[in-house]
Chain A
Amino acid sequence: MSINNPYSDRRFVIAIIVIAVIVIYAVRLFYIQIINEEYKMTATNQAFRYMPDYPTRGNVFDRNGKRLVYNQSAFDLMVTPGQVKGIDTLAFCKVLNMDIVTFREKMKKAIYHGKRRPSIFEKELSVEQSSSIQEKLYMFPGFYFQQRTLRKYPMSVAAHLLGYVGEVPKEICDTSSYYIMGDDIGISGIEKSYEKELRGIRGTRIIMVDNLGREKGRYMNGALDTAAVAGKDMYTTLDLDMQIYAEELLKNKIGSIVAIEPSTGEILVFASSPTYDPNLLVGSVRSENFGKLGKDSLKPLYNRALSAPYPPGSTFKMLGALIGQQEKVITPASRYPCSFSVGSKSIHCHPHPSPADLSMSIQYSCNPYYCRLFINIVNKYSPTEKGYLNWKKHANSFGFGTKLGTDLAHELRGNIPSVEYYDRYHGKGRWKASSVYSLGIGQGEVGITPLQMANYCSIIANRGFYYTPHIAKKIEGGEVAAKYKEKKYTTVDPEHFAVVVDAMYLVVESGTGRGGKLPGIAYCGKTGTAQNPHGDDHSIYIAFAPKDNPKIALAVYIENGGFGAEWGVPITSLMVEKYLTGKISRPDVEKQMKEGVVLPKKVK
Chain B
Amino acid sequence: MRERTTIFQGTDWVMVILYIVLVTIGWLNIYAAVYDESSPGITNITQEYGKQMIFILVALGIAVAIMIVEPNFYPAFSMFIYAFMLLALVAVYFLGTEIKGSRSWFRFGDFGLQPAEFAKFATALALAKFLSALNIRMTDMTTRLWSAFIFALPLGIILLQNETGTALVYLGFILVMYREGLSGNLLLLAFFVSLLAVLSLLYDPLSLLYACVVILLACYLVIRKTKKNLLKVSASLLVCGAIVFGVPFAFSKLHDYQQKRINVWLGKDRSSESKKDEYYNVHQSLVAIGSGGFTGKGYLEGTQTKYNYVPEQSTDFIFCTVGEEWGYIGTVILLSLYLALILRIIFVAERQRSTFSRIYGYCVASILFIHLTINIGMTIGFMPVIGIPLPFLSYGGSSMLSFTILLFIFIKLDSHRLEIFR
- Give, as a whole number of angstroms, the nearest-CB distance from B177 to chain A: 11
- Min CB–CB distance A16 → chain B (angstroms): 11
Q: Mark A34-60, 1 if CB is under 8 A from B, else 0.
A: 101011101110111000000000000
CB of A34 within 8 A of CB of B328, answer yes
Contact of B179 among A7, A22, A43, A216 (CB under 8 A): A7
Chain A contributes a number of interface residues (CB within 8 A of B) equal to 41
Assess whether A8 is in contact with B331, with CB atoms less than 8 Å apart: no
With an 8 A cutoff between CB atoms, is A210 at the interface? Answer: yes
Cβ-defined contact, B309 with A33, below 8 A: no
Query: Which of B275, B288, B328, B355 sits near A30, CB closer than 8 Å?
Result: B328
Contact check, A39 vs B335: say whether CB atoms are below 8 A apart.
no
Q: How many residues of B contact A (CB 8 A)?
A: 52
Q: Are A32's CB and B286's CB within 8 A? A: yes
**Complex: chain B residue closest to A5, CB-CB:** B350
User: Is A14 a contact of B338 with CB atoms below 8 Å?
Assistant: no
**A381 contacts chain B at the CB level, 8 A cutoff:** no
For the complex, is B47 an interface residue (Cβ under 8 Å from A)?
no
Q: Report the nearest A residue to B180, measured CB to CB.
A: A7
Q: Which residues of A contact B304 (CB under 8 A)?
A: 43, 46-47
Q: From residue 134 to 185 of chain B, which have CB atoms closer than 8 A to chain A?
A: 175, 178-181, 184
Is B51 positioned at the interface, with any CB of A under 8 Å from its CB? no
Question: Is A15's CB within 8 Å of the partner chain B?
Answer: yes
Asked if residues B289 and A33 are in contact (CB atoms below 8 Å), the reply is: yes
- B358 at interface, CB cutoff 8 A: yes
Which A residues between 1 and 44 are near B, CB-CB below 8 angstroms? 1, 4-8, 10-11, 13-15, 17-19, 21-22, 24-26, 28-30, 32-34, 36, 38-40, 42-44
Residue B26 CB within 8 A of the other chain: no
The stretch of B120-128, B192-200, B211-219, B291-299 that contacts the partner chain: B291-299
With a cutoff of 8 Å between Cβ atoms, the chain B residues found around residue A28 in the complex are: 380-382
Contacts of B306 in A (CB 8 A): 208, 210, 216
* B34 lies within 8 A of chain A by Cβ: no
A32 engages B380 (CB within 8 Å)? yes
A36: chain B residues at CB < 8 Å are 290
A102 interface residue, CB < 8 Å from B? no
Interface string of B374-385 (1 = CB under 8 A from A): 001100111000
Q: Is B8 an interface residue (CB 8 A)?
A: no
B21 within 8 A of A: no
**CB within 8 Å for A210 and B307 given contacts A13-B184, A15-B343:** yes
Evaluate contact between A216 and B327: CB separation under 8 angstroms: no
Q: Is B323 an interface residue (CB 8 A)?
A: yes
**Chain A nearest Cβ from B281, distance in angstroms:** 12
Q: What separation, in Å, do the CA atoms of A210 and B293 have in the docked complex?
A: 21
A209 interface hit (Cβ, 8 Å): yes
| Pair A14/B380 contact, Cβ less than 8 Å | no
Q: List B268-314 residues whose CB lies under 8 Å from chain A.
A: 275, 283, 286-294, 303-304, 306-309
Determine whether the beta carbon of B307 is less than 8 Å from that of A33.
no
**Given A4-B353, A39-B286: A216 touches B307 (CB 8 Å cut-off):** yes
Q: Is B373 an interface residue (CB 8 A)?
A: yes
Question: B262 contacts the other chain (Cβ, under 8 Å)?
Answer: no
Known: A42-B291, A43-B290. A33 touches B327 (CB 8 A): yes
Tell me the dominant secondary structure on chain B's binding face. helix
Q: In the complex, are the beta carbons of A40 and B290 less than 8 A apart? A: yes
Q: A33 touching B275 by the CB < 8 A rule? A: no
Answer whether residue A211 sits at the interface, using C-beta atoms and an 8 A cutoff. yes
CA distance A312 to B419 in the complex (A): 120
The chain B residue with its CB closest to the CB of A37 is: B290
Q: Does B342 contact A (CB under 8 A)?
A: yes
How distant is the Cα of A10 from the Cα of B5 in the complex, in angstroms? 35
* A171 CB to nearest B CB, Å: 30
Question: Nearest residue in A to B296 (C-beta to C-beta)?
Answer: A33
Q: Does B190 contact A (CB under 8 A)?
A: no
Task: Assess the B309–A25 pair: CB atoms within 8 A.
Answer: no
B181:A6 contact, CB within 8 angstroms: yes
Q: State which of B178, B290, B353 has its C-beta within 8 Å of the C-beta of A10.
A: B178
Which A residues are CB-close (under 8 A) to B289?
29, 32-33, 39
A128-152: which have CB < 8 Å to B?
none
B120 to chain A, nearest CB (A): 18
List residues of chain B with CB within 8 A of the CB of A39: 286-291
- Minimum CB–CB distance from A18 to chain B (whole Å) comes to 5
Interchain CA distance A210-B307 in the complex, whole Å: 4
Contacts of A33 in B (CB 8 A): 289-290, 292-294, 323, 327-328, 331
Check A210 against B308 for contact (C-beta < 8 Å). yes
A18:B369 contact, CB within 8 angstroms: yes
Q: Collect the chain B residues with CB atoms within 8 Å of residue A1's CB.
A: 353
The complex places the Cα of A7 from the Cα of B369 at a distance, in Å, of: 20
Q: Are B328 and A18 in contact (CB under 8 A)?
A: no
A40:B346 contact, CB within 8 angstroms: no
Question: Is A25's CB under 8 angstroms from B328's CB?
Answer: no
* CB of B353 to closest CB in A, whole Å: 7
Asked if B64 CB lies within 8 Å of chain A CBs, one says: no
Within 8 A of A (CB), among B337-391: 338-339, 342-343, 346, 349-350, 352-353, 355, 358, 362, 365, 369, 372-373, 376-377, 380-382
| A18-B339 in contact (CB<8A) | yes
Q: At the interface, yes or no: B418 with Cβ under 8 Å from chain A?
A: no
Q: Which residue on chain A has the smallest CB distance to residue B288?
A: A43
Q: Considering the complex, give the chain B residue whose CB is closest to the CB of A217.
A: B37
- Tell me the nearest residue of chain A to B137, going by C-beta: A6
Instruction: Report Cα–Cα, A6/B381, bound state, in Å.
Output: 39
Q: B324: which A residues are within 8 A, CB to CB?
A: 43
Residues of chain B in range 49-85 having any CB-CB distance to chain A below 8 Å: none
- Tell me the smallest distance from the CB of A50 to a CB of chain B, in Å: 14
Which B residue sits closest to A39, measured CB to CB?
B290
Q: How far is the CA of A123 from the CA of B355 in the complex (A)?
A: 79
Q: Give every chain A residue within 8 A of B323 (Cβ-Cβ).
A: 29, 32-33
Sample of 5 more A-B contacts, CB < 8 Å, known A11-B346, A39-B287: A14-B175, A19-B343, A28-B382, A43-B287, A43-B304
Q: Can you pick out 9 interface pairs between chain A and chain B where the beta carbons lie within 8 Å of each other? A: A14-B175, A14-B346, A24-B382, A25-B377, A25-B380, A29-B331, A29-B380, A43-B291, A212-B308
Enumerate the 5 nearest inter-chain pairs by beta-carbon distance, A residue then B residue, closest first.
A39-B290, A210-B307, A43-B291, A47-B303, A40-B291
> Chain A: residues with CB nearer than 8 A to chain B?
1, 4-8, 10-11, 13-15, 17-19, 21-22, 24-26, 28-30, 32-34, 36, 38-40, 42-44, 46-48, 208-212, 216
Interface residues of B (CB under 8 A from A): 175, 178-181, 184, 275, 283, 286-294, 303-304, 306-309, 323-324, 327-328, 331-332, 335-336, 338-339, 342-343, 346, 349-350, 352-353, 355, 358, 362, 365, 369, 372-373, 376-377, 380-382
